[in-house]
Amino acid sequence: MQQVDAEHAAVYRDMEPVFEDYYDTGKQMARAYVDEGPSGGNRMMSKFDAAAARLAELVDEFVASAQTRADEALTQQKQMSESAVTQIWISAVVMTVSCSSCLLPCRVR
């Protein structure tokens, strides 16, 4: 993600240790289930849930931030489109008036 979205690379770097903790805890829990059965894996569940909650919090914050940026970009695009439409209408009116004045017969006294 850091390469794909270089603008937000720092955010991804900040998520990395939290993700690694989540991943490592998940592996430990899986190993405990394999080695010790449900009782061993279940003992790890609270640690895994805490790691998952930390990761989910970071991801939720990032998604909310991305949604805000997308909303702002959409608003900016709408404003630019509205401005372009206004400019087109003004140009059309100016051209119509200009052409109309060229077509009017000249009065000679």
- For the stretch 4-52, pLDDT in tens is 888 888 988 989 999 999 999 999 999 999 999 999 999 999 999 999 9
pLDDT digits (tens, 9 = 90+) for 96-106: 888 877 766 65
| pTM summary value | 0.64
DSSP codes, 42-94: HHHHHHHHHHHHHHHHHHHHHHHHHHHHHHHHHHHHHHHHHHHHHHHHHHHHH
Boundaries of every domain in the chain: 6-103
Angle at alpha carbon of residue 62, lines to 60 and 67, rounded to 5°: 95
